[in-house]
Structure 1
Amino acid sequence: MRTFILDEADEMLNQGLRHQLEDIYRQLPGARPLAERDDLGNDIDPHPWISYQKQLQVILVSATLPQSCLGLMHQFMHDPIRIFVPRYRDARSFSHEILLLTKLYLI
């Protein structure tokens, strides 16, 4: 497994599923150890010197970006990138493409 996608992450957190998400994440190959928190609530990377060979790509999708999502994003991701869609645009204004690959084309 190379990619872990959390769609509707804000809704999962609103339903109190944070611990379950953390438990699932810990079991994934290539997942980096979850950061611990200091007394002020700041993340402490337990192994900042380790280079993770098989890094797991984490994609977090959310209609909103509450503080709980930001915390989860920083906990599961290293150097996260945020992509925002303007409010006045919806999915119909984007072009959608699907690529179906056979084993012949997989590397």
Structure 2
Amino acid sequence: MVFDNTAFAQEEFKEVLKSFLDYFSELDTIDFTSFKFQFISEMDGSCVEEITGFLLKNHEFEVLKSRFFYGDNVNFIYDTTYMLPFTINSIINKKSNFFNE
């Protein structure tokens, strides 16, 4: 599980996390103890320390030391290079969902 608190203030994030943990701890169908947690690279160090302490003290979860880096960019040249032959072939052979016949 990757923690991303960009949409929450620190106190709100802690409340969301506690609610999440309470919910999953009550489910019998999921092995809640096998969860691993990781923080995004942008998360504040004090927040990471506080939440890590909470997770280790109260639930003994594994918290990964490495940070999660998320690249939200699309390389259109790279994507087009691979998809263009597929698209052309699909249109020529009418083998795709492009045609609703």
Query: Based on CA coordinates, which of the two structures has the bigger radius of gyration?
Result: 2
TM-score in terms of structure 1 length:
0.39
The structure richer in strand per residue is: 1
Higher RCO structure (Cα 8 Å, ≥6 apart): 1
Give the TM-score normalised by the residue count of structure 2: 0.40
